[in-house]
Structures are given as C-alpha cells and as structure tokens.
Amino acid sequence: MPEIWLSYGHTDVVLDIRAENLDKKIEPRGTNLTDAEIVAKLEQLDLAKPAEFVILNYSKAVEKVISLLIERTSTC
C-alpha cells in the first residue's frame, strides 16, 4: 500500500491508501453559501459570550467570514 504523509499540527500522520483508490478523483459535494446565508448563520452566534476563533487555514473565504464577524461585533 502506498503511504501518504500529512502534516497534522506539529507532527506528521501516515495514511495507508489502497492502490485502487489512488486513481479516483475526489470532488467537493457541498455548495457554496451566498453572502446572505453566511450572514444569517453568523447572526445565530451569541457574541455576548466570550469566544475564541482558531483559523487553521487562511483563504479569501475565511477572510470574508472574519470581516463579516468584525462588522457584526462593531454593530452590537
């Protein structure tokens, strides 16, 4: 079986993958949320309570959500 090593925090994790699974293409199954849907979900958060957000991977989408959170906290 081929091994694939993935970084996981400060360590590496080995994955054993069957050779017959290596030729399969993995496609995302989810749909992207619209801005209105993102805002609706963020409005459900209780920002009156202390919270910590950990960003594991930076992307434009993550930046957008953080910006929306900042906007929401400045209007509360």
The pLDDT mean for the chain works out to 84
For residue range 1-37, list pLDDT tens digits in order.
667 888 888 888 888 878 777 777 778 788 888 889 9
**Span 41-57, mean pLDDT?**
87
| The pLDDT of residue 41 | 92
Residue of 65 and 19 predicted with greater confidence? 65
Distances (CA, A) of 29 to 26, 59, 75: 9, 19, 34
pTM of the model: 0.53
Sign of CA dihedral 13, 18, 19, 20: negative
Distance (Å, rounded) from C-alpha 70 to C-alpha 4? 38
Question: What is the residue whose two structure tokens read 């209105």?
Answer: 36
Nearest residue to 41 (alpha-carbon basis) of 11, 6, 65, 23: 65
Indicate if the pLDDT at residue 75 is higher than 80.
Answer: no
Domain ranges of the chain: 3-75
